[in-house]
Amino acid sequence: MDKIGLDIVGLSYSQTQSGAYALVLAEQDGGRRLPIIIGGFEAQAIAIELEDMTPSRPLTHDIFKSFADSFEINIKEVIIYNLVEGIFYAKLICEKDGIIQEIDTRTSDAVAVAVRFKCPIFTYEFILNNAGIILEETEEIETDGKEKVKTAENKPAKKEEPKKPSITELQERLQKAIDTENYEIASKIRDEINKLTGNNN
């Protein structure tokens, strides 16, 4: 089966379902989106790496990366290879000394590892056919948690706030959140700083 490349285009916290996050993957050469509901710890692990944050102590996925680097194990790619009763199955394709090994893993953990190794994420056509969603440019994905998740094409409307803190104040709050390992708050503060500075990376 031919593999289809995926990119991460959305990661959002559900306001209505405690602990639920929506990870949205996009088909690289098409318009389909693959929404996956994941847990809070894995969502934070993905968000921290995407936002270039440095936690005060290494997270589990950081330890995995350090362990693999120490023993010269390379993660070549992640493949979301099956979908059974709404559950996605993934595996890590690992290489050491020219020998390839496949390790079964939860999809959320696989993506958290992929962003650390900067390796590609793939899936197959039958999975996108069964679970993929095609969006118009102004359309949003509604997850099982009933939260609409913005995709790369959908830029959230700017909210007017009574009083906006300065960049310096936000940076101080960001550092405090990282120091106390409150990564959910840190991610939100980083988003606010990016809005104010015009940095959308």
**Low-confidence spans in the chain with pLDDT less than 70:** 14-19, 135-164, 179, 181-184, 198-201
Contacts of 124 (CB under 8 A, 6+ apart): 1, 2, 3, 4, 80, 81
From-to residues of CATH 3.10.690.10 in the chain: 3-156
CATH code given to domain 3-156: 3.10.690.10
3-state secondary structure of 120: coil
Q: Across the strands, what pairs with 24?
A: 10, 35
pLDDT of residue 196: 72
Angle at which helix 40-50 crosses helix 107-117, to 10 degrees, equals 20
pLDDT of residue 197: 72
- Which position has the token pair 């992929």? 114
pLDDT of residue 201: 52
